[in-house]
Amino acid sequence: MKTKMDLQMVFVLIIIGLLAGIFSGMFGIGGGVVMVPLMVFALGYSQHQAQGTSLAVLAVPVTFLAAYTYHKTGEHPINFKYALVIAACFVLGGYLGTKIAVSINETLLKKIFSVLLAAIAIKMFFSK
């Protein structure tokens, strides 16, 4: 797991936050369906670290205690700096995703959503 926040890492965190926000705005999803797999694949996080960080992103104020529980075990530390960058971009992405979703007909939106879920499921099923 990378911990240094260089320009490339900031870019990856921004992309994760924007995608999660856009998909949240478009489909009402974000943490478990978008951020967790992206953190596992793009950041090399374990499933527990990704889930804990996803909770930290959404922590204000909804899941702070759940994220803190992951963090305090010591086995699955959360990088709160990363969570804050993703959270800031999640807000912008949520707004943009909502704008996109309301401009697309419901049938197309359902098809996009189902392809997204299937692709993530297939990728996660066949990964280590």
Instruction: Give the DSSP letter string of 13-59.
Output: HHHHHHHHHHHHHHHS--IIIIIHHHHHHHH---HHHHHHHHHHHTI
For residue range 59-112, what is the model confidence (pLDDT) as tens digits? 666 667 777 888 888 887 888 899 889 989 988 998 999 899 889 888 898 899
Q: What are phi and psi of 5, to 5 degrees?
A: -100, 80
C-alpha to C-alpha distance for 103 and 92, rounded to whole angstroms: 17
Whether this prediction's pTM lies above 0.95 is answered by no
